[in-house]
Structure 1
Amino acid sequence: MALPLAAGLAGWIVAGLASGVGQIVAKSLVSLGIGYVTYTGMNALVDMNQAQIMALLHTLPPVTVQLIGVLKVGVCLNIWFSAFVIKLTLWGLNNDSFSRMRVVPGGGS
């Protein structure tokens, strides 16, 4: 008498786990895809800003550019931009909701 009940209960448990695993896998794949797209977009944005800043630094007079080279301002900017990308990546991983992101040149959000 107990054997059919145990078999039915085991079937329900397996079916519940199978449906739960499918949902977890689907949500994980969607999260990874969104994370990849967000990281790629933010990385491209930061690289573009970094290139613009470096181009503006090279338009300065030669003596100033030499001083900037001695002071390793380029290295400092690389470190700052790397930290910024990591901050955005961690923010994206910890944020469960979608929010509207706008890039407005010369303005706030």
Structure 2
Amino acid sequence: MHFFYLATLFLTIVTPLVKMALKALGIGVIAYVGINLVIDQAKDYLLANMGNAAPAIQMVLGLAKIDVAINIYFAAITTRLVLTGLNKLADRKAKLGNIGTLEA
């Protein structure tokens, strides 16, 4: 009979915590995949249009390493968006206070 009460207590406490963790991870993964998809499409579009330029212009763009600059720019955008999402998750944890801390 005691196992029933322990199981009920365990499910009452653990189930909301697991749901909250999966929800935070799910939103983060979906947002990252969506952001990455949009950034990749924009980068592919830009590089494809650079390939349609005249050969002389392509050579100048290659010497100037414009493709590397574009990759750095889009990596910075992705990093900024991911860090913003992580900061929001950290703020959410800070609002909980000392609920999640265990003292030894």
Q: TM-score, normalised by structure 1?
A: 0.65
The 2-side partners of 1:29 and 1:59 are apart by 45
Largest Rg, 1 or 2: 1
Is 1:39 the equivalent of 2:51?
no
How far apart are 1:93 and its partner, in Å? 2.4
How far apart are 1:18 and its partner, in Å? 7.0
Q: Select the structure that is richer in helix.
A: 2
After TM superposition, the runs of 4+ consecutive aligned structure 1 residues lying more than 6 A away are none
Is 1:71 the equivalent of 2:64?
yes
Task: Give the share of equivalent positions with the same residue, in percent.
Answer: 31
Q: Which runs of 5+ in 2 are unaligned?
A: 1-8, 90-104
Once the two structures are superposed, what CA deviation does each residue of 1:43-65 show, in whole Å capped at 9, x if it has no partner?
00000000111111112211110
The 2-side partners of 1:35 and 1:50 are apart by 22
Once the two structures are superposed, what CA deviation does each residue of 1:15-70 show, in whole Å capped at 9, x if it has no partner?
5x874444332211111011101000110000000011111111221111011111
Question: Alignment RMSD, CA only?
Answer: 2.1
Query: How many aligned residue pairs are there?
Result: 83
Matches within 5 A, 1:72-91: 72-91=65-84
Matched letter for residue 35 of structure 1: G
Matched letter for residue 73 of structure 2: W
Matched letter for residue 94 of structure 1: N
Matches within 5 A, 1:10-29: 15=9, 19-29=12-22
Matched letter for residue 41 of structure 1: G
Matched letter for residue 35 of structure 2: M
Q: Which runs of 5+ in 1 are unaligned?
A: 1-14, 97-109
